[in-house]
A and B are shown apart, each in its own frame.
Chain A
Amino acid sequence: MTQHQSRVLRLLARFVPSDLRESIAGDLQEEYLRLRAHRGAALAAAWLWWNTARVAIIFRWERTAHGRPLPPIGDELRGFASMWDTLRQDIVFGARMLWRQPGFTVVAGLALALGIGANTAIFSVVDAVLWRPLPYADPAAIVSVSEQRPREGRLFGPISPADFYDWRRDSQSFSSLAAYSDIALNITGAGEPERVRALAVSPGFLDVLGVAPARGTDFRPDEETFGRHRVALLTDGFWRRRFGADADIVGRTVIFDGNLYEVRGVLAPAFWWPSQPDVVVPLALSNYDRTLRAAHFLDAIARRKPGVSLGQARDELAIIGKRLSDDFPEENTGHGPNLRPVRDALVGDVRVALLVLFGAVALVLLIACANVATLLLARAAGRQKELAIRAAVGAARGRLVRQMLVESLLLALLGGGAALVVAVWSLAAVRQVVSTQFSQLPGIALIGIDVRVLGVATVVSLLTGLVFGAVPAFMVSDLTVGSALNDESRGGSGGVKGRRARTALVVAELALSLVLLVGAVLLIVSFRNLTEVSPGFQPEQVVTTRLALPSSRYGDYTRVVAFYEALSERLQAVPGVTRVALTSAPPFSGLDARLNLEIERRTAAFSSPTPVRAHPRVVSNDYFATLGIPLLRGRGFTEHDNNTAPNVIVINQVTARRYWPDEDPIGQRISLGSPQQWRTIVGIVGDIRHGSLDADAEPEAYMPYAQRFDALGAGLARGMTVVMRTSLDAPTIAPLLRAAVATVDPQQPVAAIQSMEDLIARSVAPRRVNFLLLSVFALMAVTLTSAGLYGVMAYLVGQRTREISVRMALGASPSAILTLVLRQAGSIMAAGIALGVLGALALTQSLTALLFGVRATDVRVYAGVSLLLAVVALLAVAVPSVRATRVDPISALR
């Protein structure tokens, strides 16, 4: 006992009155010793603690229930029970009140269900994408390394290989720094030939992520050397799909692009990377490629060493970058390394869009709260007599407040329950959208209702209940018996305070709705502006598919040309296909490149505000005609522009304007990239949007694929995209295309076949989702607000019935009455709209990044939205206003 003794006493001392403490401790010890003699020390000790705790708890309850006379009956739980009893009474009473007013309950519950449900759904998305830890070890230490060109307004661009290898050699801040590049490989051998997504990484990539293969081992450092690089890690999904989860896969060989690769291991099922690769292979650049400093095509990630902050790492890289631009002024002036947390790189612009949606949906919930609060206020006014009487017969104010709060919490939980249904439905829709168009975002697979989301929904419901319940609850608690009964006898209900609170709530609703409407309309206008941008070609009836010929079978350049010639011929013969062309980088495909541009006889002194560069496109003769890109001057390519003819090149209008502002570029000679290879400009074509509709056209230079273009690497010609103008849709043309490819080369796989319109639609898909969701929220807001406005006006008119009757009896015309009522409504609306405009001016600044062709302060948008809201509000007050003019003076005064 001695070791327990003092602790037992200490526990008792906290809860048991001092005069009883000693004797109770003695009793417990006596029984403890008795028990120990019979049942052993362990059981006795357990018994002692159990019973000490129970005694302590009972005294503890007793003390909470103190402060009033002891209950008459010796039931030890009486104090606690009575507390629970009154709460239960409140709950039962509250439930009964809600049940007896089904109209009110359904309307309020629905408003809350929409508000909370939308919040739950958006929270689930925001949580999954922005807040859940990435599936890597210590993800906070992982940074994305990019190259910045501040002068061009570009902060996070791809890296050149030479820069990457220098950074990796010289930096001390990282335990690992690895480059990566998304590529595609053709797998042949057992099974159908297939084009798979691959991630080429420099060794150490998995160390940066802090993951290890589930089977086999990671790459060795020397496996980034060209020639030793034919090893591969399979992702779990690909291993199961292609190899039936073959347990003996490690060490076996597979054929990628006609070369034998040894399977080094299989990644864990949890491995995730935005591009969702099927295989991971070493990034093995040729010795020549490693020296490229002006060609930027790599991305990189790094893991900070423990104790090295993001700022320190950035500073160190900046010093290295500065030295490189001193050493290589031609390539690196105005360039430098840049760092950001890896999640920022993975999430990108979506963060702003998601946070805007989150803010919008929170506003909707606020409006729903205000709406329910006005409903509750109106109801409280109707119940004022009941409450006054309860207060008169001795109900404490606290008890009445608790009653009101219990009711609003019940309502909130009811709404929260219904909200889960709303959330589940809307998440099903959201998942469908995001899984196809935003599959590269982290956490997409986690979107759903889980414990976190449920917890947030519950907390939001309860908070909501408190927020909309507090105002009416304290309003009623404030009433004095006399005033309430008097007020009632005068035919008013709610008093000045209630009226003011209700008006204020409706003004707030109007203001919040206006903010949401302005945001939604700004996004709608942006989207319309964007879709009205001409891409510069005719995307209708164009389908594309990318082919990648393996270098093992197509190492010889003439074979590449022969393959495409044969394929084009076959496709031309397909009924419904009008034109066939090839390109290295079709618009809206995500494929792009950029090379330094040299102009013959231009000295280095030639100054340009931006670096002299152009985007190379390798195309077949029919490309311009197939896509519908207009030829503005000179000529396009013909079958004579082949390997034996002089090298030619066609530029777009931006190139012509930027680099030959005062002269005719046709006939001039330029060279792209290195080694130098002069080509004569023979034509100028129209500008097209290449990456997205909202980016300006860039300088482009087109070269015929039948001529050699060593500067770009021979690989470019092997990875061409077939573009067809056809009256058939993509699903119809797909089997015909596959058949055509198979007749030319049965081992050649075909990637996904997409229509150009789909590609463009995909490029604007995030905006479409944004404006659709924001519009839905705005619509909800306006609906809730109109309902609130209607309720308040109906109430105000009802309240003034007597006054209106007197006025009418004294000869006021119906139109005068209408003016009277509308003036009251008008001032509410004016206040709401004015506040809303101010709020919108402040809040829509956060939208700037999402807008296109419209400013966040566009006067027309504000005026239009205010007018729209005013009209809707007028409709909401029309019924109560007209009702006011129909008041029968006699019956109202009676």
Chain B
Amino acid sequence: MSITDVSILGEFEQVVLLAILRLADDAYAVTIRDEILQCTGRDVSRGSIYITLDRLETKGYLKSRLADSTPERGGRAKRYYELRPRAIEALKEGRRALVALWRGLEGVLT
């Protein structure tokens, strides 16, 4: 049974994808982490960001490009991430599922 094809995203994967979406052109590991911290208050470890980005790229949700090697980075390029259409679909699907599940439960949990 192969499980890589399942188009259900993990919670943290959704968080990362949404952060990238929000950052638009400026999405690389450092800003992604900052964005997650700002929006959710979660101080995520750098390693998990890198691993997740790598996985999402392997699974075809993200594409990356190298650019912008500024001197304060010792001349090293930033790896910018951008969502593939497949990721947008998966996010929409995730949101739809959650909203559907939430419907009628607002009173219970407020």
Assess the A70–B2 pair: CB atoms within 8 A.
no
Assess the B16–A74 pair: CB atoms within 8 A.
yes
- Tell me the count of chain B residues lying within 8 A, CB to CB, of chain A: 35
Assess the A23–B78 pair: CB atoms within 8 A.
yes
Q: Does A450 belong to the interface (CB within 8 Å)?
A: no
Given contacts A72-B8, A74-B56, contact A26 B46 (CB under 8 A): no
Assess the B59–A58 pair: CB atoms within 8 A.
no
Assess the A70–B59 pair: CB atoms within 8 A.
yes
Other A-B contacts than A20-B54, A26-B77, 16 sampled, CB-CB below 8 A, are A17-B54, A20-B50, A23-B76, A26-B69, A27-B78, A31-B30, A55-B50, A58-B45, A58-B50, A59-B47, A73-B12, A74-B12, A74-B13, A74-B52, A75-B10, A76-B52
Near A by CB (< 8 A), chain B positions 28-73 give: 28-30, 45-48, 50-52, 54-56, 58-59, 66, 69, 72-73
Contact with A29, one of B2, B16, B66, B74 (Cβ below 8 angstroms): B74
Q: Does A573 belong to the interface (CB within 8 Å)?
A: no
Assess the A30–B77 pair: CB atoms within 8 A.
no
Given contacts A29-B74, A74-B13, A74-B16, contact A23 B79 (CB under 8 A): yes
Q: Does A558 belong to the interface (CB within 8 Å)?
A: no
- A65-99 interface bits toward B, Cβ cutoff 8 Å, 1 = contact, 0 = none: 00001111111110000000000000000000000
Given contacts A23-B78, A73-B10, A74-B12, contact A55 B2 (CB under 8 A): no
How far apart are B1's CB and chain A's nearest CB, in angstroms?
A: 10
- Sample 19 A-B pairs with CB under 8 A, ordered by A number: A1-B74, A16-B50, A17-B54, A20-B50, A23-B66, A23-B78, A27-B28, A27-B30, A27-B46, A54-B46, A55-B47, A59-B50, A69-B4, A70-B55, A72-B3, A74-B48, A75-B10, A76-B45, A76-B47
Q: Does B6 belong to the interface (CB within 8 Å)?
A: yes
Once the chains are docked, how many angstroms separate the CA of A613 from the CA of B49? 93
How far apart are B105's CB and chain A's nearest CB, in angstroms?
A: 24
How far apart are B108's CB and chain A's nearest CB, in angstroms?
A: 26
Assess the A69–B2 pair: CB atoms within 8 A.
yes
Q: Does A392 belong to the interface (CB within 8 Å)?
A: no
Assess the B50–A26 pair: CB atoms within 8 A.
no
Near B by CB (< 8 A), chain A positions 1-33 give: 1, 5, 16-17, 20, 22-31, 33
Q: Does A62 belong to the interface (CB within 8 Å)?
A: yes
Q: Does A51 belong to the interface (CB within 8 Å)?
A: yes
Once the chains are docked, how many angstroms separate the CA of A69 from the CA of B59? 10
Q: Does A57 belong to the interface (CB within 8 Å)?
A: yes
Assess the B77–A23 pair: CB atoms within 8 A.
yes
Per DSSP, are chain A's interface residues mostly helix, strand or loop, or mixed? helix
Assess the A69–B69 pair: CB atoms within 8 A.
no
**Closest residue of A by beta carbon distance from B73:** A26
Among B11, B12, B52, B72, find the residue whose CB has the most chain A CB atoms closer than 10 A.
B72
Once the chains are docked, how many angstroms separate the CA of A719 from the CA of B28? 97
> Which residues of chain B come closer than 8 Å to A76, judged between CB atoms?
45, 47-48, 51-52
Once the chains are docked, how many angstroms separate the CA of A148 from the CA of B56? 84
Assess the B51–A58 pair: CB atoms within 8 A.
yes
Assess the B29–A24 pair: CB atoms within 8 A.
yes
Assess the A33–B72 pair: CB atoms within 8 A.
yes
Once the chains are docked, how many angstroms separate the CA of A595 from the CA of B52? 93
- A460-480 interface bits toward B, Cβ cutoff 8 Å, 1 = contact, 0 = none: 000000000000000000000
Assess the B51–A22 pair: CB atoms within 8 A.
no
Among A26, A29, A31, A59, find the residue whose CB has the most chain B CB atoms closer than 10 A.
A26
**Closest residue of A by beta carbon distance from B59:** A70
> Which residues of chain B come closer than 8 Å to A75, judged between CB atoms?
10, 12
- A440-456 interface bits toward B, Cβ cutoff 8 Å, 1 = contact, 0 = none: 00000000000000000
Among A23, A25, A54, A77, find the residue whose CB has the most chain B CB atoms closer than 10 A.
A23
Once the chains are docked, how many angstroms separate the CA of A310 from the CA of B9? 75
> Which residues of chain B come closer than 8 Å to A57, judged between CB atoms?
47
Assess the B29–A27 pair: CB atoms within 8 A.
yes
Assess the A25–B74 pair: CB atoms within 8 A.
yes
> Which residues of chain B come closer than 8 Å to A77, judged between CB atoms?
48
How far apart are B73's CB and chain A's nearest CB, in angstroms?
A: 4
Assess the B72–A29 pair: CB atoms within 8 A.
yes
Once the chains are docked, how many angstroms separate the CA of A675 from the CA of B51? 98
How far apart are A136's CB and chain B's nearest CB, in angstroms?
A: 53
Given contacts A33-B72, A75-B12, contact A54 B47 (CB under 8 A): yes
Contact with A55, one of B4, B46, B59, B66 (Cβ below 8 angstroms): B46
**Closest residue of A by beta carbon distance from B2:** A69
Assess the B4–A23 pair: CB atoms within 8 A.
no
Once the chains are docked, how many angstroms separate the CA of A856 from the CA of B49? 73
Contact with A5, one of B30, B66, B72, B74 (Cβ below 8 angstroms): B74
Assess the A30–B50 pair: CB atoms within 8 A.
no
Given contacts A23-B66, A74-B56, contact A58 B77 (CB under 8 A): no
How far apart are B71's CB and chain A's nearest CB, in angstroms?
A: 10
How far apart are B104's CB and chain A's nearest CB, in angstroms?
A: 27
> Which residues of chain B come closer than 8 Å to A33, judged between CB atoms?
72
Among B3, B11, B46, B78, find the residue whose CB has the most chain A CB atoms closer than 10 A.
B46
> Which residues of chain A come closer than 8 Å to B30, judged between CB atoms?
27, 30-31
Assess the B4–A24 pair: CB atoms within 8 A.
no
Once the chains are docked, how many angstroms separate the CA of A29 from the CA of B69? 12
> Which residues of chain B come closer than 8 Å to A23, judged between CB atoms?
28-29, 66, 76-79
